[in-house]
Amino acid sequence: MSTDQIKPKKDVEPGLHEQIPHLGRIVFGVVALVIAALAFYLPRRTYEHAAMDKYIGPGRCKECHQKQFESWGKTRMANSFSVLRPGEKAAEKRLAGLDPAADYTHNESCLPCHTTGYGLVGGFVSIEQTPEMAGVTCESCHGPGGSYAGTVMASDKPMFKTTDARKSGLVYPPTEEVCRVCHNTNSPFVGKDYKFDFAERVKLGTHEHLKLNYEHGK
């Protein structure tokens, strides 16, 4: 074989993975994972509550607070989900610029304030999957019960202290801040001059405030 037939190999240009230093590849991978996670998470709207934890539903509250549960069931808050159904509150919807014939029961703009725990663990998913979480239930005002119901507050601990339950996540008594999450001018049913009267709403809009079976301290 002649020397003319032996041709030196050309330098092969390194690929992209060879050009990026090892540390750079790790950073690149982490960034890619973060972007992918955000792309999945951001479309899933979530709504924060003053005390975040797992929601357990009004049925658990009913176990110890039967009379309060029955009183709550007659309130507008308990039945607030029905407002989203076609034909309900037609006159009010027209005044608010909404279509009275439209079905708003799956509308993400309405669900946070007409259900309990929407977008949060144990909270409302849909009327088909979680009908018990429709409406403004106990945990909308008192915080998710997963951290205190059945633990600090339990039938075998009737003399628990309210302070201990609060430390575990109980919101008692409900605060104006909790109510204002929904009772504000973002609602299509009120005008820009709307003023929320917390004291008045506590008297008229919530369940009857019955004497508890046990004194729990402050």
Record the pTM: 0.72
pLDDT digits (tens, 9 = 90+) for 81-118: 999 999 999 999 999 999 999 999 999 999 999 999 99
Q: For residue 188, what pLDDT band results from cuts at 50, 70 and 90?
A: very high
All domains of the chain, ordered by start, with CATH?
58-205 (1.10.1130.10)
> Using the 8-state DSSP alphabet, how is residue 78 labeled?
T
pLDDT digits (tens, 9 = 90+) for 114-143: 999 999 999 999 999 999 999 999 999 999
Q: 178 vs 50, 98, 174, 201, 212, CA distance in Å?
A: 6, 26, 7, 13, 23
CB 65 within 8 A of CB 137: no
Quick one: 89 exposed, middle or buried, by C-beta within 10 A (0-12, 13-18, 19+)?
A: middle
Question: Could you give the 3-state DSSP secondary structure of residue 107?
Answer: coil
For 157, what's the count of Cα atoms within 13 Å in the CB-facing half-sphere? 13
Question: Could you give the 3-state DSSP secondary structure of residue 162?
Answer: helix
Q: What are the structure tokens assigned to 117, written together? A: 């725990």
Pick the range with the lowest mean pLDDT from 77-86, 186-195, 197-206.
197-206
Rounded to whole angstroms, how far apart are CA atoms 144 and 121?
A: 9
